[in-house]
Amino acid sequence: MEQTQQQTSIETGPQRIRVVSHLIFPYDPTVNMTKLPGANDTAASFQFDQEDHTLGNALRFMIMKNPEVELCGYSIPHPSEAKMNLRIQTYEGTTVYDALEKGFDDLMDLCDVVTTKFTDARDDFATSMDTQ
């Protein structure tokens, strides 16, 4: 699996935000999400299309590790819809967009560490099996 640069860019429009992870995988790495009404710089809700608890819980965890975030939670509005809502509230001095971008970056870094450790352990195991 080939990977290129690992950064998150958030291109903001009137109500639509597009998050591009810049990774080359067998699937489309573009996540579509909508900023829900009533948002400001320190409190906003986003709706992610085609996402579920897998991204929701991991992203919530990584965003909550940021000391400038006051609250982050996610919900799945209905099990039959492939949508995930994420709510972020930050303290003054940082924006929800910065917190969201940092959360994505931190999550990608964590995935890189897990991938590296798994690959190393798999290779060590394969080597030990070859020597027996």
User: Which pLDDT belongs to residue 64?
Assistant: 97
Question: Which pLDDT band, with edges at 50, 70 and 90, does 53 fall under?
Answer: very high
User: Which pLDDT belongs to residue 132?
Assistant: 76
**pLDDT, tens digit (0-9, with 9 covering 90-100), for 67-116:** 999 999 999 999 888 899 999 999 999 999 999 999 999 999 999 999 99
CB atoms within 10 A of CB 100: 25
**Residues 2 and 29 sit within 8 Å (Cβ to Cβ):** no
Q: Measure the CA–CA gap between 36 and 46, rounded to whole angstroms.
A: 5
Rounded mean pLDDT, 10-20: 48
Q: Check pLDDT > 70 for residue 10.
A: no
